[in-house]
Structure 1
C-alpha cells in the first residue's frame, strides 16, 4: 500500500557490504562477520533507519533483525532477509535459521551500544567471542560512491548558496545571534536542508551549528572544534545566544552543516559588519593564512596523500607566518587537527591530524577547517568540504572563501 521515499540500489548495498567485509578481514582477521547496532551504520548498510541489529557475515548473506519497523525496512532496503526479534538471545537462532549463522568470533560495532546493552549482549550470547569492528565500518564509510557523491555535491551547492547568497541579504548588524540563527535556519530550509545533522562520536550532538558574533567565537567550548560560542543555553551550546548582538565593526563567524538526503557538508563563512578596509590587521592576516592553508592542503588532496603530513604542513605554514598562537583555536579551544572526513556524519574518518598515516583514496570527502582566533575580536578562517581526486581536492561548497563585508 506504500511506496518508499527512496530505496537503496541493490548494487550500492552490495558494494558497501563487500567493502566492509574486505576491511574486516584486514583489521580483525579472527572475526567471521560483523554485528552492527547504531542507526547510522544500519542505514549505511541497509538503506533504512532501522531499529535493531544487522549481522554481516564474511561469506553469506546479511540478516537484518528489527525490534520495530520491519515493514518500513522492507520498503526501503533491498536486503532479502529482514526479520523481527525481541531479545539479544534471539539473534543466534534467527541468523542460523536464515542460513547465516553467527561465527564463533564476531566483530561488533562497539560504539553502537552503551555499556549496559553491551553487557546484556555478552550475557545472551555466551558462546560468542567479541572483538571490535568499528575501524572497518569507519574506513568503508570514508570512501563515497558516485551515488553518494551526487548527493554531497548537491548538498554542497545548496550550502554555499545559503551562506553566500541568501543569508547576507537577510542579516545586519544590530541583530542578535539568535535572530541570525533563525534567518540561517529559514534560508537552509528553503533550500531543502533536512533539519537533522548527525555526529558519529559518542555523546557528540549538533544543532544547526555555530553562530558566533565577535568574541563569542572564542567563548569556552565543549564541542571538538576550534570555533567557540555561547549557544542558546548551557543545555544546548549550539546555534546563537539571544543576548549577544552582532555589532558594527564586528566579526560574525558561522560554522555549520547542511544535510540533504542523509549526507552532510561542512562550511564556515565569516562576515564583517563594515567595509573591508576596516578589518583589523590581525584579522586580515589570519584569514589570509587560513585561505592559503586551505589552498595548499586542497591541492594535495590526492590519492596516496598522508593525512598527518597535511596537518604538519598546515602547522608549519602558521609557524612561518608567525601566527601559531591562535591557529586552530585560542587557549582551551585549540584543537589538534585540521580537518575530518564527512558524509552521513559530520565527524567522519579520517582526521587530518598526527597519527593518521593511512593514505587517502579517490572518492573520500573531507572538511578542511583552518581557523584563527583573535583575543577580544573573534575568529576568522574558512571551512569547506572537498572530494579527493587525482587532480587534487574538488571543493563541493563553493569557490569564494573571503570574508563577506556588509559595508
Structure 2
C-alpha cells in the first residue's frame, strides 16, 4: 500500500460498486469533482480550482478523468495510471463540460455535493438538466467501510488513545488551554498521525461549550477539562476521541452526574447492532440522561460517522431511521453541559459488527483526576 492511498484493487472495486449503484438509481453516470468522494474513488487529493476537473463515471463504460492539461501532475498520487483510466485533458480554449457530456450516455447524472456552483451551472447548461446529488448513491458505499478502511481507523484509534494517555501530564493549574492544546498537537503527530485534525481543550465554564476550541484561560484547581481531539492517519482516515479530566478532586455532584453520563454512553454502545436504527442508538443515551433529570443538558446528537471526513454519514441523531449495518463506523459521544458551570463528554469510535459494536478506543471512561 502506498502511504497516500490503498492498493489499486481497492479503488477498482469501489469504482465498479459506484457504477452499479448509479445503474440501480437509473442514472447515466456520476460526475465527481475534487473532494472526499474523489479521494474515496481514486485516491486523489487534487484540489478544486477555477478550471474544471472531474472523474466522469458512466453507469456503463470506462471511468474517465477530465482534467486541465496543466494540472495532470496532480493525479500522479492517484490510481489513474495504474488502473489505466482514460484521460481527456483540455486547455483554456476548450469546453470541458462538453467533454463530460461526450462520455455519458444521457443527461440524467448525479454530482458530488462538493461541486462548486462555478462548475455545476455550466455543466447543467450543457446537459440541459440540473443534475441530482450523488450523496444517495455514494453515501451507502462510503458508510460501510471495507477491511482496509477499518484497519486504518483502528490504527487511528490506537494512536489517539496514546495521546489521551499523555494528556494528564499537560494539565496543571496556571497553564492556559492554548498551551495545553499546543502540547497535544505535538503529541498527536508524535503518536502516529500525519496531521492534526482538531483540538478542543475546554476548561471550567468552557467545558460546557461542546465546540469550544481553546483560549488563554488558565486552568484552575477544581476545573473539569473536556479534551476532544483527532488527527489523520494515512491514507487520510480520522481519529476522534473525547475524555474528561478533573484538576484535583471533583465536586460530589459532578461525580454523581458523570456516573450517569457513563451509563448513557454504555447504553448507546450496547444498543449498536445491525438492524437497529441510528435513532434508537441516540435514544438509548438520551433516555438514561432524561431519567436522571439531565436530559435538557444533552444538547447535540449522540454521534457521527467518520472516515475520510471527520463528520460523515451515518449521523446518530433523533429521527434518523437508517438501519445500522455491519461495517458502519461512527462516534458514540453523549455529553452533559451546564451553561456557565461545567460540562463533560465521553466519546469512542465504534464499528458495527454482526454481533454488536467493537470500540476502536480503549482509554478508561472514568473521570480522570489529575493531582492539583
What TM-score results when the alignment is normalised by the length of structure 2? 0.89
Which residue in 1 is equivalent to 2:202?
Answer: 212
CA contact (8 A) 1:85 1:91 kept: no
Corresponding residue to 2:313 among 349, 370, 389: 349
2:262 to 291, 305, 311: 291
- How far did residue 138 of structure 1 move? 2.2
Shift of 1:253: 0.7
TM-aligned CA deviation for residue 46 of structure 1:
0.4
The CA deviation at 1:288 is: 1.6
One of 241, 245, 268 as aligned partner of 2:218: 245
**Closer, same or farther: CA 172–353 of 1 in aligned 2, 3 Å:** same
For 2:237, the equivalent position in structure 1 comes to 263
Distance 2:138 2:180 in 1: 37
Measured after TM superposition, the shift of residue 25 of structure 1 is 4.3
Q: Report whether the alignment pairs 1:32 with 2:6.
A: no
CA contact (8 A) 2:269 2:357 kept: yes
Distance 1:218 1:159, change over 3 A: same
Partners of 2:161 and 2:273 in 1: CA distance: 23
The two structures, once aligned, show a CA RMSD in angstroms of 2.2
Q: CA deviation at 1:45?
A: 0.5
Q: Do 1:282 and 1:374's aligned partners in 2 also have CA atoms closer than 8 Å?
A: no
Distance (Å, rounded) in 2 between the aligned partners of 1:157 and 1:404: 19
Partners of 2:91 and 2:259 in 1: CA distance: 57
User: Which ranges in structure 2 are unaligned for 5 or more consecutive residues?
Assistant: 48-52
Q: In the aligned structure 2, how far is the partner of 1:44 from the partner of 1:342?
A: 13
CA distance in 2, matches of 1:285, 1:32: 58
Q: Deviations over 1:270-297 (max 9, x none)?
A: 111113xxx2233223322222122122
Structure 2 residue 74 is the aligned partner of structure 1 residue 101: no
1:376 aligns with 2:347: no
1:160 aligns with 2:156: no
Q: Give the distance between the partners of 2:77 and 2:35, measured in 1 at CA.
A: 17
Partner SS state of residue 388, structure 1: strand
Q: Which ranges of 4 or more aligned residues in structure 1 deviate by more than 6 Å?
A: none
Q: 1:348-402 CA distances to partner (integer Å, 9 max, x unpaired)?
A: 1011112321211111100111000123332112011011112221111214111
Partners of 1:289 and 1:318 within 8 A in 2: yes
SS in structure 2 of the partner of residue 393 of structure 1:
strand
SS at match of 1:118: helix
Q: Distance in 2 between matches of 1:286 and 1:22?
A: 49
Q: May I ask how many residue pairs the two structures share in their alignment?
A: 360
Match in the other structure for 2:18: 20
For each residue in 1:288-334, what CA deviation from the matched residue of structure 2 results, as whole angstroms up to 9, or x when unmatched?
2222122122122211111112222222221111211212xxxxxx2
- Scaled by the length of structure 1, the TM-score of the pair is 0.82
Compared CA separation, residues 402 and 23, structure 1 to 2 (3 A): farther
SS in 1 for 2:38: helix
Q: Distance in 2 between matches of 1:196 and 1:79?
A: 31
Q: How does 1:129-140 map to 2 (within 5 A)?
A: 129-140=130-141
| Structure 1: stretches of 5+ with no match in the other structure | 198-207, 220-226, 230-237, 328-333
The answer to whether residue 357 in structure 2 is matched with residue 393 in structure 1 is yes
Q: Classify the secondary structure of the residue corresponding to 1:30.
A: coil
Are positions 1:8 and 2:14 aligned together? no
**Structure 1 partner of 2:90:** 85
**2:68 maps to 1:63:** no
C-alpha separation in 2, matches of 1:282 and 1:297 = 23
- 1:32 and 1:105 in contact (8 A); partners too: yes
The Cα shift of 1:193 comes to: 2.0
